[in-house]
Structures are given as C-alpha cells and as structure tokens.
C-alpha cells in the first residue's frame, strides 16, 4: 500500500497536498452525505455504516483534515464550530493550504442537521483520544453529552451510544471514573424514557464497568437485576454484558452461571477483539478450575493468546497435579500479572481446589494411607499438619470429592473401589448439556436472520427486485465488518 502511494506522489508532484490530505477529507465528506441521507430517510443502518467507515479512517485523522471538515460540515462562526475548533490544534501554513484548497468547493448549509453536528463531536473526540489529550477529551465529551441530552431523535441513537462510550472512556483514562456515575445513571434514565434501547444497552454496560472498577459488586448486581432487559441490538454490547455478568457471578460464588456467561462472551466476541477474548478466557479458566474442571490444552494454544495465557497455563498445571508447593511458586512468580488482571482473590480461592485435587489423586493411588503421609504429600506447612489433613479429608468425604472412609482410631484413610462411570447418570448429563448448547445456538441463529419487511404482502417488480438485490449485496459487504468495530 505504501509503495502505491509513493508512486502516485512521484507522478503528480505539483499536488502533493491534495493527493494525501484531501483523500481522507473526501472520504469524510462522503460519510457526511451518508449520514444526511440516513437522517432524511430515517434509516439507522446508513448511520451505522457511516460509523463503520469512520473507524477505518480513524488513524488517518489529522488536525488539518479535521479543521477542513469542520469548515465543510458546520457553519463557520457558529457556537458549535467555534467550540469544536478550539479543541483542534492549528498547523500553520499546511492548515491554511488545505483550507484554501477546500474553501472553493465547500457550501455550508444554512441549517446543520443534529446528526451531522453530533458526528463532528465524535470525530473531534476520537482525534483527542488518539492524540492522548485526555483532559481536552473530557471537556469535549462533556460538551457533546450536554448537547445529546437536548436532542430526542431516533436517528441519533447510534451516534449517541458511541459518544456515551467515549465519554466514559475519557474519564477512565484520567482516573476520574467515579465522577460521572451519577451522570451515567441520569443518561440511562433518559434513554429508558425515550425508548432508546441501544443507549440503554451501552449505558448499562458502562455503569456495570464503573461499579466493577471500584469493586462494587453488590451495587452492580442490584442495578443489573432491576434494569430492563430486551433483545440485544448490538453484538458488542451483548458480549460486554455477558463478561460483566460472568465477573459478578464469579465473585458471588455462582461458578456454573459464570462459566456459561464467560464462555459465551468469548465465543460471540469478534476475532479482531483479541484483548477482550483474552480477558474472557482468563476468567473462564479460573472459573473452570474453581469448578474442579481442567481446561483443555487447546484453550491455551489459541492463535495470538499463547503468551498472555502462559501464567494461567502454569497455574492450571499446578492445580491438575495437586502440588501445593508448585501452586505457591506460580502464584508468586506471576503475582504482577494476576494483580493487573485483578484475579488475585480468585487465586486465593484456588488453594483449596489444589489441596482437594491432590487428595483425590492420593485416594485413587492408595487403597489405604496414613494421615501423616497425606500431610507430607500435600505439603501442608501448618503447626499441626496431621490435624489439618484429618479435617481436610473429612470435609472432602462429606462434600463427595473422594469416596473413602476415615479411621480416626488408627489414623488411616481407606479408599473405596472406583465403580464404572457408565453405570451412573453422568454420561447422560454430559450429552444433555451438549444437546442443549446446540439447540440454543440454533435458536440464536434463527433469531439473527434478517428478512426485508412486508415480503408476504407485496409482490415486487423487476425494478424493485434489482434494487433489493443491490441493497443485499451492500449489506453482505459490510455485515462482516459490523462485528469488528467498537472493540
């Protein structure tokens, strides 16, 4: 790609500015026309397409391009234009060249559409975040939210949801996330009253993230349980909701529900959202270990995740073996990683599972073993290891972790013979869970099907058929990109 651009620059040296900058500016103008068309026709899908195209141009935004687009989209001298231009730094002569080159063709409208105005806010906010000007981004996002509050248009819902996200993100980058919690609650209430379901999804996830950032799990669960739920409109927001739900369920010791939510979030997440998928897999691995399961090796060998999941692979190996000493060594070795992932409290919970796994291995290997040897094999470093081993064995027998009896008089653990697992209902339960998963996936695929409206009422002609086929082709080109943006 870079070689092609360089060749074009050599061919037209006299238009070096117009060959690089106006190309991005022209794309932004086309996006603005798409937003205008979607606003007049009340087609939200066109505005979603405009946002997807914007994310592709995000890295190409410069101060000169942004200033030229603001002059094109907004009325020069207006309050909005002056406010947004104040956030964009000037670039001297280069900026003047672009302005003079584009001032000839620009024809500012007398009345700027609210959708286009909010889109300009979004562009400037993206530029400030990418330039790491977080304080200016906070001011810009606050101004954009104040403007969004005064507008009640359904064609603004998609743009407003993006502004909500970057509004919270800019405050999170500066460590001031707690300041906007009340404002987010007010915005969620407004979105509920306006029946803005996409805004409700986005704001609910932002509030959950806000609570979980400060370890307020009880408040997050109260909000989640009382917030209105409906069919998901955005796959990205649904993935985030499942992840936050999995974290809440994990802290509340509801590991089975947490495992289902975390694995579903990892499966539904786009391939491009690798960081999100890595985080989901980290929590899912710990939840499966807490459930007494051992994740498959392929979980740690996923493409692009080997290095990030290496600490959890060694931790899983220690739990699988049941070696308490190895578990302590791994926990100390990767303490920084576990602290950054905020999974330290789950690692502490795993110690009991390591002991239980080691006890299960001992029970399988020995038909009878003394409590002194059990304490040595488990490497219990307490003041009275034999008494601790006796209480651990008694609790494991009571919970059904091992099938054995405890001889207190002689200090022995006598294991019973293992029976045939196929004579129990465990295989039936395993097949039932797999069948339920397949049926659930089939039902979700059926619900995700999209049909053109009123196909059973109208008989389309040849021209309408061609128009419909063209729209379907455009939709097929962008449907794959829809899952990749916003992550």
Residue 368's DSSP bridge partners are: 414
When pLDDT is cut at 50, 70 and 90, the band that residue 5 belongs to is very low
Provide the 3-class DSSP secondary structure of residue 304.
coil
pLDDT of 289-310, one tens digit each? 888 888 888 888 888 888 889 9
The average pLDDT across 233-241 equals 86
Answer yes or no: is pLDDT of 243 > 90: yes
When pLDDT is cut at 50, 70 and 90, the band that residue 106 belongs to is very low
Give 16 or 427, the one with higher predicted confidence.
Answer: 427
Q: Copy the structure tokens of residue 418.
A: 């293992």
Q: Copy the structure tokens of residue 339.
A: 């602290």
Q: Copy the structure tokens of residue 63.
A: 């101060």
How would CATH label the architecture of 366-417? Orthogonal Bundle (1.10)
When pLDDT is cut at 50, 70 and 90, the band that residue 480 belongs to is low
Range with the lowest mean pLDDT among 173-177, 349-353, 415-419?
Answer: 415-419
The average pLDDT across 263-281 equals 89
What pLDDT shows up at residue 206? 92
Mean of pLDDT over the chain: 79
pLDDT of 123-160, one tens digit each? 888 888 888 888 888 888 888 888 888 888 888 888 88
What pLDDT shows up at residue 425? 83
pLDDT of 369-426, one tens digit each? 777 777 777 767 676 777 777 777 777 777 666 767 777 777 777 777 666 677 778 8
Strand duo 412-415 + 404-407: pairing? antiparallel
326-332 LR contacts (CB < 8 Å, sep 24+): 327/351, 327/354
Residue 173's DSSP bridge partners are: none
Please list, in sequence order, all residues whose beta carbon lies within 8 angstroms of the beta carbon of residue 161, skipping any fewer than 6 positions away: 198, 199, 201, 202, 234
3-state secondary structure 102-131: HHCCCCCCCCCCHHHHHHHHHHHHHHHHHC
When pLDDT is cut at 50, 70 and 90, the band that residue 282 belongs to is very high
The average pLDDT across 103-123 equals 67
DSSP assignment letter at 368? E
Give the percent of the chain with pLDDT over 90: 9
Residue 412's DSSP bridge partners are: 370, 407
Per the rule left: phi > 0, alpha: psi between -120 and 50, beta: everything else, 42 is left
Q: Copy the structure tokens of residue 245.
A: 């739900």
What pLDDT shows up at residue 246? 92
pLDDT of 47-97, one tens digit each? 888 888 888 887 888 888 888 888 888 888 788 888 888 888 776 434 443
Residue 459 phi, psi (nearest 5): -105, 110
When pLDDT is cut at 50, 70 and 90, the band that residue 6 belongs to is very low
Provide the 3-class DSSP secondary structure of residue 370.
strand
Answer yes or no: is pLDDT of 12 > 60: no
What pLDDT shows up at residue 438? 93
The average pLDDT across 251-258 equals 88
When pLDDT is cut at 50, 70 and 90, the band that residue 8 belongs to is very low
Give 284 or 396, the one with higher predicted confidence.
Answer: 284
Cα–Cα distance measured from residue 346 to residue 445, given in angstroms and rounded to the nearest whole number: 34
What pLDDT shows up at residue 399? 65
pLDDT of 183-214, one tens digit each? 889 999 988 888 888 888 889 999 999 999 88
Nearest to 397 by CA among 360, 372, 365, 439: 360
What pLDDT shows up at residue 375? 73
Nearest to 357 by CA among 328, 396, 329: 396
Nearest to 113 by CA among 33, 26, 25: 33
Sign for the pseudo-dihedral over CA of 96, 98, 103, 104? positive
What pLDDT shows up at residue 18? 42
DSSP assignment letter at 15? G
Residue ranges of domains in the chain: 241-362, 366-417
Give 179 or 467, the one with higher predicted confidence.
Answer: 179
What pLDDT shows up at residue 483? 55
DSSP per residue, 384-415: SHHHHHHHHHHHHHHHTSS-EEEETTTTEEEE
The average pLDDT across 213-218 equals 89
What pLDDT shows up at residue 435? 94
The Cα-based distances of 439 to 66, 261, 445 in angstroms read 49, 17, 10
Give the percent of the chain with pLDDT over 70: 83
The average pLDDT across 219-228 equals 88
């Amino acid at each position: 790609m870079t070689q092609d651009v360089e060749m074009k620059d050599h061919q037209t040296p006299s238009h070096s500015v117009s060959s690089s900058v106006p190309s991005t500016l022209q794309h932004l103008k086309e996006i603005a026309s798409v937003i205008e068309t979607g606003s007049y026709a009340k087609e939200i899908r066109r505005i979603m397409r405009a946002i997807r195209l914007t994310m592709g141009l995000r890295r190409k935004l410069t101060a000169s391009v942004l200033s030229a687009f603001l002059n094109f989209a907004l009325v020069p001298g207006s309050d909005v234009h002056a406010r947004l231009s104040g956030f964009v730094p000037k670039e001297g002569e280069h900026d003047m060249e672009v302005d003079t080159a584009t001032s000839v063709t620009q024809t500012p409208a007398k009345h700027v559409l609210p959708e286009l105005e909010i889109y300009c806010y979004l562009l400037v906010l993206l530029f400030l975040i990418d330039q790491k000007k977080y304080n200016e981004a906070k001011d810009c996002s606050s101004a954009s939210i104040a403007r969004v509050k005064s507008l009640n248009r359904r064609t603004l819902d998609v743009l407003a949801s993006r502004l909500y996200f970057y509004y919270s993100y800019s405050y999170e980058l500066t460590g001031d996330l707690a300041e906007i919690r009340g404002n987010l609650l007010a915005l969620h209430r407004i979105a509920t009253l306006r029946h803005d379901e996409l805004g409700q999804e986005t704001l609910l996830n932002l509030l959950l993230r806000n609570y979980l950032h400060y370890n307020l799990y009880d408040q997050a669960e109260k909000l989640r349980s009382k917030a209105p739920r409906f069919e998901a409109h955005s796959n990205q927001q649904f993935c985030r909701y499942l992840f936050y739900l999995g974290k809440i369920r994990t802290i509340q010791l509801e590991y089975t529900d947490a495992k289902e939510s975390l694995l579903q979030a990892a499966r539904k997440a786009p391939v491009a959202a690798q960081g999100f998928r890595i985080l989901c897999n980290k929590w899912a691995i710990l939840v499966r270990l807490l459930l007494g399961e051992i994740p498959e090796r392929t979980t740690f060998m996923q493409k692009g995740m080997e290095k990030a999941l290496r600490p959890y692979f060694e931790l899983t190996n220690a739990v699988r073996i049941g070696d308490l000493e190895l578990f302590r060594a791994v926990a100390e070795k990767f303490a920084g990683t576990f602290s950054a992932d905020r999974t330290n409290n789950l690692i502490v919970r795993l110690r009991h599972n390591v002991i239980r796994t080691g006890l299960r291995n001992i029970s399988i290997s020995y038909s009878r073993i003394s409590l002194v040897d059990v304490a040595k094999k488990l490497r219990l470093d307490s003041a009275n290891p034999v008494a601790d081993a006796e209480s651990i064995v008694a609790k494991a027998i009571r919970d059904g972790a091992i099938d054995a009896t405890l001889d207190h008089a002689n200090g022995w653990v006598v294991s019973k013979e293992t029976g045939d697992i196929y004579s129990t209902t465990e295989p039936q339960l395993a097949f039932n869970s797999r069948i339920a998963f397949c049926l659930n996936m089939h039902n979700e695929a059926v619900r995700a099907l999209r049909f053109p409206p009123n196909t059973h009422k109208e008989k389309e002609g040849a021209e309408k058929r061609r128009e419909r086929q063209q729209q379907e082709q455009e939709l097929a080109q962008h449907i794959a990109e829809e899952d990749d943006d916003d992550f």
